[in-house]
Amino acid sequence: MWKQQYQAGFTLKPQWNFKIFAVDLSETLAVSNGSSGDDILSTAALNVSIPLLADVGTRYGAQWEWINRAAPGEGPGSNFRYIAGVSVAGQAAPFTFDAEYTLSHGYRGLRHDVSSGLEVPFQRGFILEAR
């Protein structure tokens, strides 16, 4: 069995009104050879970061995953993933907080995910981290 993976992408960071926006576009292609033949998995993703205030930013993303065989004996399938998140960080905030909501549907099934994280720095290089 062998597996090859290729990934390509680019990031744009335009600046407007002293705020930096980020746009990431990427494509990943994985090809593997198994007992059932060649399997192809392709994932295209678009992520955008938009600052709201000096210390508050938002993230939005979409991902499309395509596989040539969703299960043995079945045809191709697609899976879609949508992401929305917010982050608070900067010099005015004495901590870093991230929260993200993800909705996925397709051949992998319907899924809702929520994640968050908090980092509070202390003196002498210690950091309290909660996920």
Number of domains in the chain: 1
Strand partners of residue 103: 82, 112
- The residue type found at 52 is L
* Token pair recorded at residue 76: 């191709």
* Mean of all residue pLDDT scores within the chain: 89
CB-CB neighbours of 33 under 10 Å: 12
β-pair partners for 100? 85, 115
Strands, E assignment, the chain: 2-12, 15-16, 19-20, 22-34, 37-51, 56-67, 77-88, 96-106, 111-121, 127-130
Helix (H, G, I), strand (E, B) or coil at 46: strand
pLDDT band with cut points at 50, 70 and 90 for residue 64: very high
- The parent domain of residue 36 ranges over 2-130
For 3-51, the pLDDT digits (tens) are 888 999 999 998 887 788 899 999 999 998 876 667 889 999 999 999 9
Residues 82-95 have pLDDT tens digits of 999 999 987 766 88
pTM of the entire predicted model: 0.79
**Is 131 in contact with 114 (CB distance < 8 Å)?**
no
Tell me how far the alpha carbon of residue 128 is from its chain's centroid: 24
Tokens encoding 53 = 């205030």
